[in-house]
Structure 1
Amino acid sequence: MSHPTTPGPVNRRSILLGGAAALGTTAVGGSALADGMSRRGAGTGRLVDPFTLGVASGDPLPGGVVLWTRLAPEPTAEDGKGGMPDRTVPVRWEVAEDETFTKIVQRGIAEAAPELGHSVHVEVDGLRPGAEYFYRFRVGDELSPAGRTRTAPAPGTLGELTMCFASCSHYGAGYFTAYRRMAEDEPGLILHLGDYQYEYPSSEDDVRTVLGPETRTLANYRQRHAQYKTDPDLQLAHATAPWLVVWDDHEAENNWADETPEEPQENWMKRRAAAFRAYYENMPLRSTSRPQGPDMQLYRRIQWGGLANFHMLDTRQYRHDQACGDGYNVECPERFAPNRSITGDRQEQWILDGFANTSARWDVLGQQVFFSQLDLTPGSGEGYNVDAWDGYVANRDRIAHAMGNSKVRNGVVLTGDVHRHWAAEIKDSHEHPDSRPVGTEFVTTSITSSGDGSDDTNRDVLDDNPHVKFYADRRGYVRTKFSGSRLRADYRVLPYVTRKGARTETAATFVVEDGDPTLHRA
């Protein structure tokens, strides 16, 4: 693979949005991937295009960031080894201030070991706060795509941040066009709130074929993650900005709750350990999140200067099993039990401590399932999704009350899971509809899950939930802009995902003014 030098200045957008002709193999996008795959040979005894899964960065701090790649010349091999030999491979990495890598500020060597699927997690330190950087990897003569990242601003800094968040990307349900459109927005940060991949095997309704059986073993999970990572639209989104990731259920198995799987099965905890290990191997996470068997420290707090605290939650690993048989749209007195928890006691206290000690302009919970109360039964009856916070009412109300009665200046909850766009005002107590709002909730639809969607307005449910201000049944993501004076949220939608090439439009925009926890439609 040749690595031509680039004559003259290069437009930043060209490197990130497919400028392969200008930058050769350093460009991000589908061209370098396709070229490498066409050149892959068998039996040569050497690595050929080991970077088929792209690059990523994540968990930015004021002085550094995590840089990620995983070597896989045969990415979807059934054994989960990606065509790699059973030995450690040295990987060179470098970080530059410019996209042509003429101003390299750091470089080093990391080891890609078979024990972690030949993944690399480089925790770079000593960078400037609030700065943009470019990074890449090299194995032998093979050069990875380039990625763009940035460090968090210095403590106390306000400024502005464009941040996009997403959820629920089922490979078989459609094309990941929304990831590409997200990258085209050039955000400074991306949050993924769960269901990054799905455990199911392919079905006759799938738009794209999912490889392998239902994921149960480490090899299964590695193969599934690798198939997703070969998608050029997803690769582009990863290479555009640092990510903060948390899981929901499908990264392991649908609707799991701590040590309880959806259906009784042998070796659930062994399966969970395999899912956690593959998740770590394939995400730009710090070593503090490296799993220990079936346990993994995923909840964490990232400070974006003085502008925002991102409290990234884990609502799966510590929750009590869902109440009332894990029903949907059901009446369920059990959901009010005061000891029921979706966070676990330790994580709840961690959240409350974060609220008590914050000095940020915006405190943001990045989490998985619907936080606000949502009565799903139109008319006089009531019905709730007990897989969401409605199944853990006391836990939810303690956190909502603390949001409105602590040092939190502006409380925001970001949510995924439900494959629909929603916007809501969070009440101090949802059992008392006249109680004051203490924060706002923005729920993103899915990237692909549930297919193209419809123009249904869900008017009956909205009428029964006056604190809920918006609903849309299309695929897409949410684009936000944080500043010292306001938060703007644009609900981005695609008309279809079962075909390639859809463009995005904004279905609705809401503004939250500093100090006013209500939604204003722009």
Structure 2
Amino acid sequence: MDRRAFLTAATAGLLIPQSVPAAASSRTLRSDPFTLGVASGDPSTDGFVLWTRLAVDPLGGDGRGGMPSRDIDVNWQVATDERFSSIVRSGATTARARDAHSVHVELKGLEPGRDYFYRFKSEGRLSPAARTRTAPAGESTLNFAVAACAHYEHGYYTAYRRLAEQEPELVVFLGDYMYEYAPSGYTSLAGRVRTHTPGKCRTLADYRLRHAQYKSDPDLQAAHAVAPWLVAFDDHEVENNWAGHTSSTGEPGFARRRADAFRAYYENMPLRRASLQGAVLRVNRRVSWGTLARFHLLDTRQFRDDQACLDGVRAGCDTRLSSDRTLLGADQWRWLEEGLSGSTTRWNLLGQQIMVAQRDFKIGPGREVNLDSWDGYAAERTRLLDSLARTANPVVLTGDAHMHHLAELKADFDDPDSPAVATELVASSIASDGDGYRDRTWIAEALQENPHFSYIDQRRGYLMARLTRDELSVDFRTLDYISRKGAKARTSHHLNLPAITAAAAAGQAGAPQAG
């Protein structure tokens, strides 16, 4: 069975091996508890995190997936082949009712740089099988995908399915995995294709229920089943445009709401147990891929100052230029600068949520910028660009914008002759804003207004990238529609970014060659 056949069979529930040891409990659930699929994440050279969450009724109104109030035993297996004829690790854990019956298994002691297959069993029921991978220990290549922003109501998750069919070795997801709005709380040009669970997410039960709805989608499950993920949240996993301890709507009880949203996010993601620290969820972390690359995952929400000038896309607003304003917070800044300066890998990939490049939304005289992005924290962005200028082969990976963008990050965006210190790749959305469109006149005007951008596309999609020692090759993948099923994905733009030596990185960035 080849990899694509395995993926198809696994996500269709056709791989039903019988050799998993029986779980300890003699009581059985009334139906399949693996309705939310399985996932893996945060690969290291000797392991990864395995995840599942038991739910016999994903849309059960209390957010507990129709599960009983008791804890339930879960067995797991890891094999080197998709038929599980060569099992290398197995064990048992407990899906606790207090954790919404979620399971996080942290594996160590495996071989570096190879595929593994895993599955779970509980109370006589088997999960789908899925594939994951350990990081290599030395030199290697890497095929990886970048995705973000998947509003359930705005369309089908065909982009997840197409991503899975390309069989990346790693998926980097950069925020807005789910949306907190009540039904029709955020409309798109395509209208409402599917319907959210009732109400706006405010309580732990609300967030658990919404995550379960998203996780029930078979295309999303296919994308999780094909490779390990690196995940980080943006705003909608809590509330639109929240900042630090500040609600964007001023609703009371935001501290409790944020803590509940964090807990539900952890329960539904392949994150390590240490990431949940009381009311804080640590998603800023580093993951290395041998000597080839280091991923620096950022948190651009939890430690920021409130947005300036009442937020939104605005003109003026000198407050955004203040050197006292922070986006990352002091502790995360120290962590980032230590990680960049101490990195010995060939490439350094900064995975974060909001656009770094200056983006003028006003066509013609004057300037309007998005104060929720790095434009709202301009002095700290300068500090970031200074750090990237001293880093070997830096590339910024970004979500949030619901459009593909390719940008040169300039030391001075207002000087066309200013050197580029890094390249920014912005992935469009998986589903947010519906079908999308391609307004060539508007694109031409936007590119003229922002000459450091070389490509913009308003259609839905994701990025597929191949990284070698000498080059980063990127396909900007787009779909013509998601308001109905069956769209194909195509490469609408291609980038070849050559590596430069670490010594040269202090003064210049590799010049992108686009096609």
In which range does the TM-score fall when normalised by the shorter chain? over 0.9
Given candidates 508, 514, 520, the residue that maps to 2:513 is 520
| CA–CA distance in structure 1, aligned partners of residues 318 and 105 of structure 2 | 48
| CA–CA distance in structure 2, aligned partners of residues 375 and 358 of structure 1 | 33
| CA–CA distance in structure 2, aligned partners of residues 511 and 83 of structure 1 | 49
Q: Paired residue for 2:438? A: 455
Query: TM-score under structure 2 normalisation?
Result: 0.93
TM-superposed CA distance for 1:22, in Å, is: 9.8
Give the letter aligned to residue 164 of structure 1.
A
Give the letter aligned to residue 92 of structure 1.
N
Given candidates 66, 72, 75, the residue that maps to 2:55 is 72
Which string of whole-angstrom CA distances, capped at 9 and with x for unpartnered residues, describes residues 221-276 of structure 1? 00000000010000000010000000000000000001111111110000001100
TM-superposed CA distance for 1:25, in Å, is: 3.3
Q: Paired residue for 1:144? A: 127
Given candidates 13, 20, 26, the residue that maps to 2:4 is 13
Between 372-381 and 135-144, the greater mean CA deviation after superposition? 372-381
Q: Paired residue for 1:254? A: 240
> Within the alignment, does 1:110 sit opposite 2:66 as a pair?
no
TM-superposed CA distance for 1:329, in Å, is: 4.0
Given candidates 87, 101, 115, the residue that maps to 2:70 is 87
Q: Paired residue for 1:175? A: 156
TM-superposed CA distance for 1:399, in Å, is: 1.1
Quick check: 1:81–1:219 contact (8 Å CA) kept in 2? yes
> Within the alignment, does 1:122 sit opposite 2:111 as a pair?
no
Give the letter aligned to residue 207 of structure 2.
Y
> Within the alignment, does 1:193 sit opposite 2:174 as a pair?
yes
TM-superposed CA distance for 1:453, in Å, is: 0.9
> Within the alignment, does 1:288 sit opposite 2:240 as a pair?
no
TM-superposed CA distance for 1:327, in Å, is: 2.3
| CA–CA distance in structure 1, aligned partners of residues 108 and 239 of structure 2 | 35
Between 454-463 and 236-245, the greater mean CA deviation after superposition? 454-463
> Within the alignment, does 1:46 sit opposite 2:41 as a pair?
no
TM-superposed CA distance for 1:128, in Å, is: 0.3
Q: Paired residue for 1:228? A: 214
Which string of whole-angstrom CA distances, capped at 9 and with x for unpartnered residues, describes residues 39-75 of structure 1? xxxxx97342000000000000000000000000011
Which string of whole-angstrom CA distances, capped at 9 and with x for unpartnered residues, describes residues 447-494 of structure 1? 111111111132112102111110001001011110000001100000
| CA–CA distance in structure 1, aligned partners of residues 203 and 282 of structure 2 | 21
Q: Paired residue for 1:243? A: 229
| CA–CA distance in structure 2, aligned partners of residues 190 and 456 of structure 1 | 29
| CA–CA distance in structure 1, aligned partners of residues 12 and 146 of structure 2 | 30
Q: Paired residue for 2:249? A: 263
Quick check: 2:50–2:270 contact (8 Å CA) kept in 1? yes
Quick check: 1:17–1:184 contact (8 Å CA) kept in 2? no
Quick check: 1:494–1:504 contact (8 Å CA) kept in 2? yes
Instruction: Name the SS for the 1:324 alignment partner.
Output: coil
| CA–CA distance in structure 2, aligned partners of residues 493 and 88 of structure 1 | 43
Instruction: Name the SS for the 2:445 alignment partner.
Output: helix
The 1:47/1:268 distance shift into structure 2, 3 A limit, reads same
Instruction: Work out the percentage of aligned pairs sharing the same amino acid.
Output: 49
Quick check: 1:439–1:518 contact (8 Å CA) kept in 2? no
Give the letter aligned to residue 181 of structure 2.
Y
Matches for 1:465-484 after TM superposition, within 5 Å: 465-484=450-469
- Superposition RMSD on alpha carbons, in Å? 1.6
Matches for 1:310-321 after TM superposition, within 5 Å: 310-321=295-306
The 1:68/1:176 distance shift into structure 2, 3 A limit, reads same
TM-superposed CA distance for 1:434, in Å, is: 2.5
Give the letter aligned to residue 410 of structure 2.
K
Matches for 1:321-470 after TM superposition, within 5 Å: 321-405=306-390, 408-457=391-440, 458-470=443-455
Instruction: Name the SS for the 2:168 alignment partner.
Output: coil
Give the letter aligned to residue 465 of structure 1.
N
Quick check: 2:356–2:375 contact (8 Å CA) kept in 1? yes
Between 341-350 and 101-110, the greater mean CA deviation after superposition? 341-350
| CA–CA distance in structure 1, aligned partners of residues 235 and 111 of structure 2 | 36
Quick check: 2:354–2:374 contact (8 Å CA) kept in 1? yes
Between 509-518 and 262-271, the greater mean CA deviation after superposition? 509-518
Give the letter aligned to residue 164 of structure 2.
A
The 1:21/1:280 distance shift into structure 2, 3 A limit, reads closer
Give the letter aligned to residue 405 of structure 2.
W
Instruction: Name the SS for the 1:25 alignment partner.
Output: coil
TM-superposed CA distance for 1:12, in Å, is: 2.5
Given candidates 246, 250, 258, the residue that maps to 1:272 is 258
Between 53-62 and 377-386, the greater mean CA deviation after superposition? 377-386
TM-superposed CA distance for 1:173, in Å, is: 0.3
Quick check: 1:420–1:473 contact (8 Å CA) kept in 2? yes
| CA–CA distance in structure 2, aligned partners of residues 188 and 197 of structure 1 | 23
Quick check: 1:401–1:429 contact (8 Å CA) kept in 2? no
Q: Paired residue for 2:200? A: 214
Quick check: 1:276–1:291 contact (8 Å CA) kept in 2? no
> Unmatched 5+ residue regions in structure 2?
19-26, 501-508
Query: TM-score under structure 1 normalisation?
Result: 0.92
| CA–CA distance in structure 1, aligned partners of residues 229 and 11 of structure 2 | 23
TM-superposed CA distance for 1:114, in Å, is: 1.1
Instruction: Name the SS for the 2:405 alignment partner.
Output: strand
Instruction: Name the SS for the 1:253 alignment partner.
Output: coil
| CA–CA distance in structure 1, aligned partners of residues 158 and 277 of structure 2 | 31
Instruction: Name the SS for the 1:384 alignment partner.
Output: strand
| CA–CA distance in structure 2, aligned partners of residues 366 and 212 of structure 1 | 32
The 1:439/1:499 distance shift into structure 2, 3 A limit, reads same
| CA–CA distance in structure 2, aligned partners of residues 429 and 20 of structure 1 | 48
Q: Paired residue for 1:509? A: 494
Instruction: Name the SS for the 1:168 alignment partner.
Output: coil
Which string of whole-angstrom CA distances, capped at 9 and with x for unpartnered residues, describes residues 175-227 of structure 1? 00000000000000001100000001112831001112100000000000000
Give the letter aligned to residue 230 of structure 2.
L
Quick check: 2:315–2:366 contact (8 Å CA) kept in 1? no
Q: Paired residue for 2:139? A: 158
Quick check: 1:212–1:223 contact (8 Å CA) kept in 2? no
Quick check: 2:71–2:95 contact (8 Å CA) kept in 1? yes
Quick check: 1:215–1:221 contact (8 Å CA) kept in 2? yes
Instruction: Name the SS for the 1:462 alignment partner.
Output: helix
| CA–CA distance in structure 1, aligned partners of residues 323 and 248 of structure 2 | 23
Q: Paired residue for 2:506? A: none
Give the letter aligned to residue 151 of structure 2.
H
Instruction: Name the SS for the 1:326 alignment partner.
Output: coil
Quick check: 2:11–2:218 contact (8 Å CA) kept in 1? no
> Unmatched 5+ residue regions in structure 1?
1-9, 28-43
